[in-house]
Amino acid sequence: MEILIVEDTEDSRVLLEEQLLTLGYRVRSTVNGVEALSQVESNIPDLIISDILMPEMDGFEFCRQLKREPRYSSIPFIFYSATYTDNKDIELALSLGADRFIVKPEPVEVIEKTIQEVLAEHNNQNVVKPTISESEIDSLYEKRLKAKLDKKVAELESQRKQLHAITDALPVLIAEVDQDLKYKYVNHTYETWYQLPYELILNKCMDEIELEHSYSIIKPYIQSVMDGGDITFDEELVFPDGVNRSIHGRYIAKERGGDGFFILLTDVTSLKKNEREREILQKQLTHAQKMQSIGHLSGGLAHDFNNILGITIAQLELIKRRIKDNPDLSERIEQAISNTWRGADLVAKLMDFARKESIGRQDVDVNESITLFKTLIEKSITSAIHLKLNLQQDLSPVEVDPGELESALLNLAINASHAMPTGGILTIETQNVQTDKFQTAESPSAATSFVLLTISDNGCGMSEGVKEHLFEPFFTTKSKGKGTGLGLSMVFGFVQRSEGFIEVESEEGKGSRFLIYIPALPMGNED
């Protein structure tokens, strides 16, 4: 016995085929009413099991045309549907001449029992043909189709509203454009970024909505996706709301290439910023660890050298007293003593760099220190360099070693003058600032109120390679014999002992700025 299955959904069709094959039936299958009629004409089956909702010709129309033809009207016919399940649907199905109506899904036992009942009825010629007229069938058929269509439209509208509610809630720009690059849908994020309501965006071309510069950036990606391939990209784009965003974008081609595409844009600005901040913090941590290691090494070496130099100076002084009657030797010993003291001075600077705590910290007015020290700074730089002070009034006091502060100012001023051999402007500025950028996982309680001391010049500037080693002892860009390379190391040591932070901004040919952040004391503490 052969059964013809008419079912457009592959999964349902394959399942029913397997169930019937298991029961011992031969099976043929097709996907709609048009193909089913052709199959029947070529080879009449013993029984037909048909779905209702199918393309080209649905199950109702297929059953109707089959039953109109005398040659096929006696073929047992069972409807098997999960879509048309109302009593009115069943009434129409039976009115068209169907023998049974089964609502999906049913176990194989129910299907087998129904087949056996229908076959028994046909064998006993107990089949009751429908008495309803064609016009009544037409009317009933139209009503059922309209009811089903209205229901489907309502379902689709409900789904559309739910989908829009979901996409509007997402912090992602979502849009759809057609083959002419006209917008067919945008979500709420799109309206926000582009400062336009949905109605004014719909059916507008992308180049009418996008800013000119931003459109020139995304145009190659648009061309690629219109050629049929999905595109992923990362760009910096400015949007009509005035915000410059780091964007991770995806253009997803529709099923048929050239029919348009879907747009997904994610604002990753904060992620990019966090990545950059992590990189900066990692560099700062690495630099701090390196400087700490150098400090430990310098301190150990300086201590040992200091002991050696102390013994050397004592021995030279002893020799000097014993050869005082020999002027030539005395002069040579005096030079040796002088050079040894210079070495001791370098060692003292190294020990200052390595020292963790400042000995003479006290409340200091930075403005007052700069003003009093101005004359010495001017004498330390060339006359071709103009010293400019920009000191904020009511500056908060700080707790530092005043001698170390003056030494740091002098070292930075001399360093700036070397960067301006033909003259320039040296600017010293102070101001109260509030910032939490030094609060990290490693230092969650770092200060947020600072006195910012800025020393800037318009000299030759520095490369990134020079900045990486700037505060290391004995590192210098000067020619041999022109510097010890300890000046900026002493500045770094002073900042560390003052529990502050130092930053350097510099580009080759554009000058340099040293920014020293010293924790501020509450106003009034200077007394």
Radius of gyration (Cα) for the chain, nearest Å? 45
Peptide bond into 105 cis (omega under 30): yes
Check residue 481 and give its pLDDT.
Answer: 45
- Maximum pairwise Cα distance, the chain: 152
Q: What is the pTM of this model?
A: 0.41
Count of C-beta atoms within a 10 Å radius of residue 298: 25
pLDDT one digit per residue (tens) for the chain, 527 residues: 999 999 999 999 999 999 999 999 999 999 999 999 999 999 999 999 999 888 889 898 999 899 989 899 999 999 998 876 778 888 888 888 899 999 988 899 999 999 999 999 888 876 656 666 777 767 777 776 677 777 777 777 787 778 777 777 777 899 999 989 999 988 988 888 999 998 898 899 999 988 899 999 999 999 888 887 888 999 999 999 889 999 899 998 987 656 889 999 999 888 777 676 666 666 655 555 555 555 555 555 555 566 666 677 777 777 877 787 777 777 777 788 777 776 666 656 555 554 555 566 889 999 999 998 888 888 888 889 999 999 999 999 999 988 888 888 988 998 898 889 899 999 999 999 999 888 765 665 578 899 999 999 999 998 888 887 777 765 666 555 454 456 687 788 888 888 899 999 998 989 999 999 999 998 765 44
- Percentage helix, strand, coil, to 5, in the chain? 50, 20, 30
Count of C-beta atoms within a 10 Å radius of residue 282: 10
Check residue 468 and give its pLDDT.
Answer: 79
Q: How many helices (H) and strands (E) does the chain have?
A: 16, 17
Nearest partner of 152 among 59, 62, 84, 50, judged by Cα? 84
Which residue has 């974008």 as its token pair? 249
User: What are the Cα distances from residue 138, in Å, to 66, 135, 144?
Assistant: 15, 5, 10
Token code pair at residue 38: 């052709």
Check residue 388 and give its pLDDT.
Answer: 94
- In contact, 27 and 14? CB cutoff 8 Å: no
